[in-house]
Chains A and B, each alone.
Chain A
């Protein structure tokens, strides 16, 4: 039963929405071209760029804001954009499907759990595919431009992007742990968003997600999920940064917990 639901969701929510993926691909290409343009300026100064530098360009996030440092807070627009675009894609389909043919499938299958957990798995697939697109585009950009396909991020990236501070560790940085941690964090955020949309509606759940992400970029607190989607705040990059292993445990627990809580809320919801 669950597998049938999952296949249906992947067909309807991903394959049939191929136009959205084309837009995403165009966006990924533009982001990587700009990343390349900025990285090339650094290479002129005798530095070698890596594949991880391209990925770090759009996933880095922002350093925690400290009002005492006499600097203005700058909104990490690209970081917010790439996460909010993914959460937006994960927001529209599940409830639209429920209001369309979903109700009939729910009645015929008589299994709310299959419906809910299929949507959770669909969010995982959607997010992983989304980040897969970004990574593949970066990989292709890296190969075309003759840069190194290396899982270490060079030290210059944090410097040229204005992330450098006294607490920043010396590069190169081990980056491989973040290739999965970032999508997992976005999955957790999207699952929370989907669960919230059952209670407060889609618009407000998106607003809460956006506010939460902005708060993550402004404050330094390991309770806000957005922190784990910012590699430059980890202990790989910064002194006193968050522990990557703890990040995995926290994010995975949130995924499991939200799926279960969401199921109970969905089970109690008056749908028909």
Chain B
């Protein structure tokens, strides 16, 4: 059943289109970063003072970029990660396909298979383009380990999550954030899947959690930022590799863990308990 669900999640039109959308942003960003790197290198050659750290791959790729493409990517991933498969349960209930499956196989196998497929599809559609961007940039931009002297330029201040790793081994920092992105986005996709028990319209199911995120960001900007000493609680900023210091957004492991727990608890109660007991036929 898991194999079948994975096939449905990864071989569908929406997955392909969404992947292409994310990939286009990633490739476009890679060209900008490489072009910027060459321009910066030419300027530094003219002045005779080359700063290798500032031109390192560690700070010149999509995850660490300061271009519009970075803002666009991290803004849209919470919407697009739900496109591939988060609506599948709702669709299959509507089309009564679920009745055919549950009467032929174990209900638990079906639900667990769908949950894992949604998690992997959501995480993969967002994380793979990031990895591809990193690899494209790595073909042209050399990697140098960055040091704490350039903290102001890198946007990774002391309170930022894993900042000590960033200044000791940036590659591990990047890998950690890629894993964090994969897990967070995967869980977000499964949360939307669980919401399918309450929301009966496909478009509303996919778009309303994203609007909820924007509303949460607004509340945080208006009230929360001052109360939380600049620590962000909104997912739009939690999984970014660099901080928007002037905007007062630091992330922390505590907040990320709370989000994980909330999403897992919601999924367990709604998806597994409610789904396991729901009368399908």
Contacts and interface: CB of A to CB of B under 8 A. Distances in A.
Interface of A: 27, 34, 37-38, 67, 71-75, 77-78, 80-81, 84-85, 88, 91-92, 96, 202-204, 206-207, 210-211, 214-215, 218-219
B203 A211 contact: no
Nearest to B243: A72
Given A75-B236, A92-B203, A215-B68, A81 B214 contact: yes
Interface stretch (B113-121, B184-192, B244-252): B244-252
A92 B206 CA distance: 12
A75 B79 contact: no
A230 to B, nearest CB: 16
9 contacts: A72-B155, A72-B245, A75-B75, A75-B236, A78-B221, A88-B207, A88-B208, A91-B207, A210-B76
A84 B206 CA distance: 13
A214 B211 contact: no
A84 B214 contact: yes
Given A78-B218, A203-B203, A73 B211 contact: no
A71 B247 CA distance: 9
A73 B71 contact: yes
Contacts of A202: 203
B218 A72 contact: no
B215 interface: yes
B160 to A, nearest CB: 13
Contacts of A67: 66
A92 B201 contact: yes
B244 A214 contact: no
B204 interface: yes
Contacts of A80: 214
A80 to B, nearest CB: 6
Given A73-B244, A203-B83, A218-B68, 15 more contacts: A37-B223, A67-B66, A72-B247, A75-B71, A75-B217, A77-B218, A78-B222, A84-B214, A91-B207, A202-B203, A203-B203, A203-B207, A204-B17, A210-B210, A215-B68
B223 A81 contact: no
Q: Sort chain B's interface into a size bin.
A: 20 to 34
B80 interface: yes
Nearest to A58: B218
Interface of B: 14, 17, 21, 66, 68, 71-72, 75-76, 79-80, 83, 155, 201, 203-204, 206-208, 210-211, 214-215, 217-219, 221-223, 236, 244-247
Contacts of A210: 75-76, 79, 210
A85 B210 CA distance: 10
B211 A207 contact: no
Nearest to A85: B211
A38 B222 contact: yes
A82 to B, nearest CB: 9
A261 to B, nearest CB: 23
A219 B218 CA distance: 21
Contacts of B217: 75, 77, 81
B207 A206 contact: yes
Contacts of B21: 207
A90 to B, nearest CB: 12
Contacts of B17: 204
Contacts of A27: 215
A34 B222 contact: yes
A67 B244 CA distance: 13
A214 B246 contact: no
A91 B208 CA distance: 12
Given A72-B245, A204-B17, A206-B207, A214 B71 contact: yes
Nearest to B13: A201
Nearest to B82: A203
Nearest to A95: B203
Given A203-B203, A203-B206, A74 B79 contact: no
B204 A77 contact: no
Given A72-B245, A72-B247, A203-B206, A77 B72 contact: no
